[in-house]
Structure 1
Amino acid sequence: MTHGMMARKTYRYSVLVGLSFATMLSGCDMAPKYQPVPLKVPESWGNTGVLKQASPADDVIRSDWWTMLGDPLLNQLEEQAMRLNPDLQAQAEAFMQSRDVAMEAKSHLYPQLNGAASGDKNKGSRHRLWRGGGSQGPVYMSSEQYSATASWEPDFWSAIRNRVRMTKQRSQEAAAEYALGRLSLQAELASDYVLLRGFDAQSAVYRDSIRYYQTAVQVTKMRLAGAIAPGMDVSRAEAQLYATQAQETDIQTQREVVEHAIAVLVNQAPSSFHIAPTTRLSFAPTMPPIALPATLLERRPDIAAAERRMAQANRAIGVSRAAFYPHVTFNAMTGFMDNGFDLASLSNSMYQFGVQALMPLFQGGLRRAELQRNWSQYRQEEDLYRSTVLSAFQEVQDNLTRTTRLKTEAAQQSNAVDAALRTQTMTMALYTGGLTNYLDVVVAQVAALQARIALVQVQTRAIDARVQLVRALGGGWSRTDLPKSDQIMPFSPLQYGNLRHAGPVAGVTTQTDPASADLVGQQKTSQPLDTRSQRR
């Protein structure tokens, strides 16, 4: 065996050992073992009054939870908002962008290959310095070459892998934020719709009172004409009538503002959107199932997002730890170069390969400061996670209290309305018979109107409390709806087509509905919405 053959064999053996060593080291994960903060939570929600706490088998809220209110128009509006709301579509794009960031991070695990080609032609001066008068040296020179380069960073300390895991967890966080935005949109639309119907019911009460007060004005004018009542009674009756008309106008103003908000939520211009009014609240009394407290951690998108941020902070510790160890990069280049076009000859070939290792020796505490900061950020995310959980429990408990108490308050206020209406009727009868003055009538009328308006307001708040309770319980969302880690990447490393839209994951898509460009509501709907443009 010649010396050259032995050298080549030794070189191949060294490369094989080096690659084996690199593969072995690439499994070193410097991140601490991650375990979410174990929180001890209550076993029940305590005193929930008339509410029945569901068992684990039947505590799932439907994803279309708003249908429990039994309003077809609300169902239509919710469906339209889920398809067309621009803020929700923007959040879907943010989720898709986070997937691309994860793909960018993963690309560093693969060798980076590049190709290059170049050509140039140069001419020198015949009378340049140091060129003799009889020199026959060339004044023209050309060069053509093409080459390929490759570089690869073996992930000895899992720094790249931890960055990839961080970006995947950030993508899962973005998916949770999308779910939170969708739930917030659903709840906001339902709350606005309930509030609008509450204004409708109040307006109906005011109109009914206005008709009653108009009759009272006529009665006082007839008594004044018969000289059996003073003119003050007419003034008091008219003042009561006009004040109530002003209050009804104010309610209409508030209703229109809420209607405008609903229009924007469903992707329509307010000027071309109108919901026909009703005269009373007619929502179904169905109550959502109340899940056990322990399941809330799996049902709230904001809690899931906080947990994913905590997981990212844990991986950041591994990245900062890896910075203390050597940073190794392999580079190689090969190609051909010639002063003509005879490039395919081995004599014109060229190559270069090498390895570089960078080891931090002294940086004035830079790496230690970064590591300590990442540990602090991880503990900060733990604290914020616990704070998010506590806020979630408070929201559920608050709305459980509201739902229970407002039901009782509505029954009590209904009794007050009955008593106030009886008083109003009796007082007016006494006045007509000349047995009392009109001031007593005004007092009774004011009490009756206030009682009826208060009843509608309590009923509206009770319905909205159910909506907010569903929102606090997660609105039918589950942590299992988050995309799995192996579903995050938007395409494969060798995919070069269909890159405008990534495939949908976990129900999140960026395919735009053509109707989203229609802001005047001309698309067909299952139940017509009266529009102002149509009315004109």
Structure 2
Amino acid sequence: MRPLSTLRVLRGTRRAVLVPGCAMLALLSGCDLAPAYHPPALTLPAAWGEDPVMRTAHPDDAALRPDWWTMFGDPVLDRLEAQATEANPDLNAAAESFTQSRDIAREAESKLYPQLTGGASGYKYKSSRKRLYRGGTATGPIYMSSEQYWAAASWEPDFWDSIRNQTRVRKAYAQQKAADYALARLSIQAELATDYMALRGLDAQHAVYTDSIAYYQTAVQITKMRQAGDIAAGIDVSRAQNQLYATQAADTDILAQRSVLEHAIAVLVNVAPGAFHLEPVPSLSFRPVALGAGVPSTLLERRPDIAGAERAVEQANRAIGITRAAYYPHITFNAMTGFMDNGFDLASLSNAMYQFGVGAVLPLFQGGLRRAELQRSWSQYRQAQDEYRATVLDAFQDVEDGLSLRTRLQTEAQQQEQAVGAAMRTQRMSMALYTGGLTNYLDVVVAQVAALTARIAEVKVQAEHLQATVRLIRALGGGWSRAELPGTKTIDPFGPLQYDGLHHPRPTGGIPVDTPPSADDLTRGGLTQGAKSR
């Protein structure tokens, strides 16, 4: 059994070893100089100012899915959306931008590891026999060879978490680019759906004009027959012809607008406009969509632009720590070893060479440079917070606008349907009275104009209601969730010791890492329905 004094000495020795050891471990683990980060806290309303038009008893049925366009029940739209998501060049470029941000994060993180280099060289030298200060009888060598190989290492311990904060900034930036990709995908999908619904609305208007043109052609024939029988005046024929030709001109304008929209859709799905055509349909036959807007607080988790703005706030927060670290000394360890000989006896220890050292850099006076950088970092942090709040406000405005439009447009569609019914009855009665000689043709023209205007207005408001639904879906995030953002541990595109399979990074966040094989084919069919008429 050891005496008490011996135990005290041993305990004191252990304490003397452990305390500096723990201090060294704490020093090597780094000291984070960035402020503690918390996402900006906002006071949000408890409910939306406008209630959704359509409700459902099952909240899960009204919840948005990533393939939200399938709720409209249009197979052509489904295929167009799938093709745009796969092959749209702007979307693929956004995916590549995310890949590059991951590589930038890997570059920043690589500085945490020792940097190892190696090299080898061999040289042969010859000097002139007549060189300066060499005597004519000199017998010294004029040839010399030098062969060497060496290895070097350098490492900067991240005492002040400067490198770690740079890595966190780059990873937060990569997450922001992932949110940008989700926003670009949602924007393209919403733009495609909006254009497609506008095109189908023009198809429905074309059907109305076609029906009206056939009706007006009959009216021209009737007025000509009545004029031939001396029952009607020539002015009736002129009025009927004017109505017919004006309607044909309006129909031609609709077809021109349709061509432009069709070209826009072709570009969105990565097809040359000349090789793309969608057959017209006579009416709007989309399925009614029930949407649940949820509570306002959930919008922060469903909008990719809000998530991206929040990631920018964290980047600015970490940048403060990087700027603060510049006030402290940066220490670097360097070492080099190798062999050098004028022949090939390199393995001999007598030919070994080495050097090692440690360096420290501490700013003493720079005329306010560091203070200006720190002040700018704090200002950029506050700016990022303000931009985050502005993004949230814009998002709330988008939702409120979408809810208001859906509510008002649905009411307007119902009112316009009643107006169409009344106008069509008036048109039939006016023509019947004119045929019977009980009224003049001016009353018929007025009734025809009112009926055509009401029918076109009805189609327009139906298309606008569909587009308002798409706008609201986009405002609600299109089924996206913040949980889809890649985690910081999955940002790295490859492992530190991975040297194969580097053509594409490891997939993360559901973002594609390679270009589809068919993305260069701008003339592919599949969605082209029939030959495009010229």
Taking a change above 3 Å as real, the CA distance of residues 497 and 20 of structure 1, as seen in their structure-2 partners, is: farther
Secondary structure of the 1:516 match is coil
Taking a change above 3 Å as real, the CA distance of residues 462 and 440 of structure 1, as seen in their structure-2 partners, is: same
Q: What corresponds to 1:73 in structure 2?
A: 76
Provide Cα deviations, 1:310-330, integer angstroms capped at 9, x if missing partner.
000000000000000001111
The question of whether the paired residues in 2 share the 8 Å contact of 1:334 and 1:351 is answered with yes
Secondary structure of the 1:515 match is coil
- Indicate which of 215, 219, 225 corresponds to 2:218: 215
Q: What corresponds to 1:46 in structure 2?
A: 49
* Mapping 1:133-532, distance limit 5 Å: 133-522=136-525, 525=526, 529-532=528-531
Q: Distance in 2 between matches of 1:251 and 1:521?
A: 27
Q: Distance in 1 between matches of 2:133 and 2:464?
A: 98
**TM value normalised by structure 2:** 0.94
Q: Distance in 1 between matches of 2:67 and 2:528?
A: 21
Secondary structure of the 2:145 match is strand
Q: Distance in 2 between matches of 1:190 and 1:79?
A: 12
Letter in 1 for 2:278: I
* Mapping 1:3-152, distance limit 5 Å: 21=24, 24-48=27-51, 50-52=53-55, 60-152=63-155
1:429 Cα deviation from its structure 2 partner: 1.4
1:521 Cα deviation from its structure 2 partner: 2.0
Q: Distance in 1 between matches of 2:402 and 2:371?
A: 47
Letter in 2 for 1:313: A
Provide Cα deviations, 1:369-403, integer angstroms capped at 9, x if missing partner.
00100100000000000000000000000010000
1:49 Cα deviation from its structure 2 partner: 6.2
Secondary structure of the 1:504 match is coil
1:532 Cα deviation from its structure 2 partner: 2.5
Q: Distance in 1 between matches of 2:293 and 2:338?
A: 70
Q: What corresponds to 1:9 in structure 2?
A: none
**TM value normalised by structure 1:** 0.93
1:152 Cα deviation from its structure 2 partner: 0.3
Deviates more, 1:333-342 or 1:136-145: 136-145
Secondary structure of the 1:514 match is coil
The question of whether the paired residues in 2 share the 8 Å contact of 1:151 and 1:332 is answered with yes
Q: Distance in 1 between matches of 2:25 and 2:146?
A: 39
Provide Cα deviations, 1:47-70, integer angstroms capped at 9, x if missing partner.
426443899877631111101101
Unaligned runs of 5+ in 2: 1-15
Q: What corresponds to 1:4 in structure 2?
A: none
State the identity as a percent: 64
Provide Cα deviations, 1:286-322, integer angstroms capped at 9, x if missing partner.
2222221110000000000000000000000000000
Letter in 2 for 1:74: L
Unaligned runs of 5+ in 1: 1-12
The question of whether the paired residues in 1 share the 8 Å contact of 2:53 and 2:403 is answered with no
Q: Distance in 1 between matches of 2:194 and 2:237?
A: 42
Provide Cα deviations, 1:106-156, integer angstroms capped at 9, x if missing partner.
110000000011111111121222122222221111111111010000001
The question of whether the paired residues in 2 share the 8 Å contact of 1:53 and 1:292 is answered with no
Letter in 2 for 1:532: A
How many residues are paired up? 518
Q: Distance in 2 between matches of 1:90 and 1:293?
A: 32
Deviates more, 1:244-253 or 1:43-52: 43-52
Secondary structure of the 2:518 match is helix
Q: Distance in 2 between matches of 1:478 and 1:408?
A: 32
Q: What corresponds to 1:7 in structure 2?
A: none
Q: Distance in 1 between matches of 2:517 and 2:127?
A: 64
1:103 Cα deviation from its structure 2 partner: 0.5
Q: Distance in 2 between matches of 1:147 and 1:529?
A: 64
Taking a change above 3 Å as real, the CA distance of residues 286 and 51 of structure 1, as seen in their structure-2 partners, is: closer
Q: What corresponds to 2:4 in structure 1?
A: none
